[in-house]
Amino acid sequence: MLLFHDGKRIGYEFKYAENPSVTRSMRIAIEDLKLAALKIICPGNVHAKLDEKIEVVGLSSLVP
């Protein structure tokens, strides 16, 4: 999913794995889509920065 926030292109990818890792396709998406950031949404309550532009966010932290 691609959203625009404050003029920046933010990509969202949804994964079932609780601890996803950086893939080649993520790097290609960042480059091709000129993303400012890529957020990986996954189950659980995880929050980690995998790369300068790639962040993992647990779904439970997004739902009140």
Q: In this predicted model, what pLDDT tens digit does every residue of 5-47 receive, in sequence order? A: 999 999 999 999 878 899 999 999 999 999 999 999 999 888 9
Domain that holds residue 21: 2-61
Please, how many CA atoms are within 13 Å of residue 61, restricted to the half-sphere of its CB? 11
Query: Are residues 55 and 39 in contact, defined by beta-carbon separation less than 8 angstroms?
Result: yes
Tell me how far apart the alpha carbons of residues 25 and 36 are, in angstroms, rounded to a whole number. 16
What global pTM score does this model have?
A: 0.87
pLDDT score of 6: 95
Strand ranges across the sheet with 2-5: 2-5, 8-14, 37-42, 54-58, 47-49
Tell me how far apart the alpha carbons of residues 15 and 55 are, in angstroms, rounded to a whole number. 12
Question: What is the number of structural domains in the chain?
Answer: 1
pLDDT score of 5: 94
pLDDT at 62 over 90: no
